[in-house]
Amino acid sequence: NAGVTQTPKFQVLKTGQSMTLQCAQDMNHEYMSWYRQDPGMGLRLIHYSVGAGITDQGEVPNGYNVSRSTTEDFPLRLLSAAPSQTSVYFCASSLGQGGNQPQHFGDGTRLSIL
Amino acid sequence: GQQVMQIPQYQHVQEGEDFTTYCNSSTTLSNIQWYKQRPGGHPVFLIQLVKSGEVKKQKRLTFQFGEAKKNSSLHITATQTTDVGTYFCAGPHPGSNYKLTFGKGTLLTVNP
């Protein structure tokens, strides 16, 4: 049972490049979400999904796109990377509503934008 | 901005000393969760509190939820070097049970 798997673990991009951060879970969780973590800022919610085909914005959605075509996968897309998007990105999943259920986190993707 | 405020931001203790971190919300929370993140790691769920005045213990860790369900605390008795990490509280965003909002965390360092 792998839990929540994120790839890649590290990535360096140039400003303006695009990329997709992958997230997959094998726990049959309906709820999935993406957070970014910056020094002194805690974890901030980017986007979330309550099930396949349903996504919504979190606190800091600008510059990011998501889709949820299957229960298992929830990729995060950066269409045109900016230095302000340098951060550690965590994917999380849970049963039911995200605000009321324990979150299972992946190991994170450390992203640097030059 | 952040719904939940957490203090202190940093705490350095000698091994064997106690440690407490506090979490405060401007709104009543249906529940509050606590997570631990080791340096270089990912947040790991510790516990969820739901009831007013609830107290739960996990070995040397004691978690409390305030009577008004607006504040919470995590107390560690006799810290060990394995307790090092950042402790986060998290609660539902006002008006949405689909969004979990995290405090900024308390970084605990322990001097052996």
Render pLDDT for A17-28 as a digit per residue (tens, 0 to 9): 999 999 999 999
B1 closest CA partner among B35, B40, B27, B34: B27
CB B85 within 8 A of CB B36: yes
CB B98 within 8 A of CB B41: no
Residue A40 has a pLDDT of 82
B72 closest CA partner among B59, B97, B53: B53
A53: tokens are: 């085909």
A102 and B45: CB-CB below 8 Å? yes
The yes-or-no verdict on residue B1 having pLDDT over 60 is no
Residue A41 has a pLDDT of 85
Q: Does B56 touch chain A (CB under 8 A)?
A: no
Contacts of A103 in chain B (CB under 8 A): 33, 35, 43, 45, 90, 100
CA-nearest residue to B34 within chain A is: A102
Q: What is the pLDDT of residues B50-108, one digit of tens each?
A: 999 999 999 999 999 999 999 999 999 999 999 999 999 999 988 788 889 999 999 99
The number of beta carbons lying within 10 Å of the beta carbon of residue B8 is 12
Distance of alpha carbon A104 from alpha carbon A110, whole angstroms: 18
B98 and A90: CB-CB below 8 Å? no
The number of beta carbons lying within 10 Å of the beta carbon of residue B51 is 10
pLDDT tens track of chain A, all 114 residues?
689 999 999 999 999 999 999 999 999 999 999 999 998 888 999 999 999 999 999 999 999 999 999 999 999 999 999 999 999 999 999 998 888 899 999 999 999 999
Identify the residue among A37, A56, A87 best suited for mutation to test binding to B, counting B beta carbons within 10 A and taking the highest. A37
Q: Does A102 touch chain B (CB under 8 A)?
A: yes
